Amino acid sequence: MKPIVYFRDGFVAADKANLSIASAPVLYGLSIYTVFPVFRNAKTGELNMFRLRDHFQRLQNSAKIMAFSDFSRDWKFEEFEKVMRELLVQNKPDGDCLVRINVFVDDVLQGTRMHGLKHSVSAFVYTVPALPKTGVKLGVSSWRRTPDNAIPSRAKINGSYVNASLAKHEALMNGFDDAVLLDEHEHVAESTVSNIFMIRDGKLITPSGSTDLLEGITRDSVFRMAEKLKLHHEQRSVDRSELYLADEIFLCGSSLQIVPVIEIDHRKIADGKPGKITKDLMNSYDLHGRDASLSDWLTPVVLK
């Protein structure tokens, strides 16, 4: 069966969902998005959408920043939830997957204008290879994280991911799995598509929201799990060299969940193995129905 996607005003086969080569998203990257994971319950086989309302709110926030007035006005959470449920029902994924939703300027040859144009929605189901849970190796990129007053960091704007792509390309060419980006003040911001945490002296530390980073939903989830584990956590500036001295480091994000970092710039993090606190957080981040305390993050979908 061909994949079914949501495009503009309804469900169509994936190969029928096309944009003009002269459209604003193609020419200028004028679209915003969010990605949420879907987890299959280990016992019942039921699918569960992760923090769906928060992902919808992130789209609304991005739309507000980008002046995508149609989406802000016309889409309510109830309609959004209904479309996401039906998308999963029509595709019937047989395991964990991701859903990506885009809101885009649906017009051609309008230059860089955004306001007053039509904004449409697309959504599709997909899977991607995960980074190894045994640990990844990162390199600090020569590319700087795009500053918030150039392209807003709190909005997930498709065009801004040129920055991440350049950093990822450099990292792979240099033999790393991914990159760490610094902001214009030389402080650690984030990885290419994930937030970064470190543990020093038993404290969980992550760059503050003023460090040109995306305030990730999984990042927020880590804060809640840290409280559950009675783990002190703080947000502050982090220098590059401080990463080398960390006891543990990990990445987190909607698509990769929690992934240990075992090396940065050819320097081992501690003994070069995933640390205890990282593994505790990975175990706590159990979204397959085994931890009832996280059930309020999950929206069930019954496949017909």
Beta strands in the chain (DSSP E): 4-7, 10-13, 31-40, 47-50, 97-105, 119-126, 136-144, 178-182, 188-191, 195-200, 203-207, 233-236, 248-253, 257-264, 267-268, 298-301
- Single pTM value for the model: 0.93
Cα separation values, 277 from 151, 245, 248, 283, Å:
34, 16, 8, 10
Q: What pLDDT is recorded for position 290?
A: 54
Tell me the domain boundaries of the chain: 4-126, 136-284
Fold category of 4-126 in CATH? D-amino Acid Aminotransferase; Chain A, domain 1 (3.30.470)
Q: What pLDDT is recorded for position 285?
A: 86
Quick one: DSSP state of residue 16?
Answer: G
What is the rounded distance in angstroms from the CA atom of residue 200 to the CA atom of residue 30? 40
Quick one: DSSP state of residue 262?
Answer: E
User: How many CA atoms within 13 Å lie on the side-chain side of 99?
Assistant: 33
Is 105 within 8 Å of 192 (Cβ atoms)?
no
Q: What pLDDT is recorded for position 195?
A: 97
Is 197 within 8 Å of 259 (Cβ atoms)?
no
Q: What pLDDT is recorded for position 222?
A: 94
Phi-psi sector, 175: left (phi>0), alpha (psi -120 to 50), beta: left
Cα separation values, 278 from 5, 115, 229, Å:
36, 44, 12
pLDDT, tens digit (0-9, with 9 covering 90-100), for 40-89: 887 777 899 999 999 999 999 999 999 998 888 899 999 999 999 999 99
Beta bridge partners, 61, equal none
Quick one: DSSP state of residue 202?
Answer: T
Per-residue pLDDT of the chain (304 residues; tens, 9 = 90+): 689 999 998 999 999 999 999 999 999 999 999 999 999 887 777 899 999 999 999 999 999 999 998 888 899 999 999 999 999 999 999 889 999 999 999 999 888 888 888 999 999 999 987 778 899 999 999 999 999 999 999 999 999 999 999 999 999 999 999 999 999 999 999 999 999 999 999 999 999 989 999 999 999 999 999 998 899 999 999 999 999 999 999 999 998 899 999 999 999 999 999 999 999 999 888 776 555 667 789 999 987 6
What is the rounded distance in angstroms from the CA atom of residue 297 to the CA atom of residue 304? 22
Can you give the C-alpha Rg of the chain in angstroms? Answer: 20
Q: Which residue has the tokens 């090396």?
A: 263
Q: What pLDDT is recorded for position 12?
A: 96
The answer for residues whose C-beta is within 8 angstroms of residue 260's C-beta and 6 or more apart is: 133, 134, 135, 136, 248, 249, 250, 274, 275, 278, 279, 282
Q: What pLDDT is recorded for position 132?
A: 80
Q: What pLDDT is recorded for position 279?
A: 94
What is the rounded distance in angstroms from the CA atom of residue 160 to the CA atom of residue 259? 24
What is the rounded distance in angstroms from the CA atom of residue 185 to the CA atom of residue 211? 9
Say which CATH class 136-284 falls into. alpha beta
What is the rounded distance in angstroms from the CA atom of residue 67 to the CA atom of residue 46? 37
Burial 105-137 (b: 16+ CB within 10 A, else e): bbbeebeeebeebebbbbbbbeeeeebeeebbb
